[in-house]
Amino acid sequence: MPEGIVGILPLILLFGIFYLLLIRPQQQQQKKRKEMFSRMKKGDRIVTVGGIYGIVKEMKDDTIVVRIADNVNVKMDKTSVGRIVGE
């Protein structure tokens, strides 16, 4: 029986390292983004994942309207927001 445990031990160790280096940081990043989306409100200055700066004008369930220049409003998906400026 100890031989079976010794054979599985490297797999368990490999999974532990995989979890600590890949899975856990990804989960933390997703949690951070979800918190950012919940804090986002009308009037916030944002940067999209494409690098466009703008101000949130309207918010609906999954979409937002962003003013990127005078009289230029763009409707986009909430997930396209990269960050809120000033955080």
- Per-residue buried b or exposed e for 56-72, using 16+ beta carbons within 10 Å of the residue's own CB: beeeeeeebbbeeeeee
Asked whether the predicted pLDDT for residue 87 surpasses 70, the reply is: no
Please give the model's pTM, rounded to 2 decimal places.
Answer: 0.71
User: Any residues with CB less than 8 A from the CB of 2 and at least 6 apart, and which?
Assistant: none
Asked whether the predicted pLDDT for residue 2 surpasses 80, the reply is: no
Q: Are 45 and 57 in contact (CB under 8 A)?
A: no
Per-residue pLDDT tens for 17-69?
A: 999 999 999 999 999 999 999 999 999 999 999 999 999 999 998 999 999 99
Residue 82: Cβ within 10 Å count? 15
pLDDT at 71 (0 to 100): 94
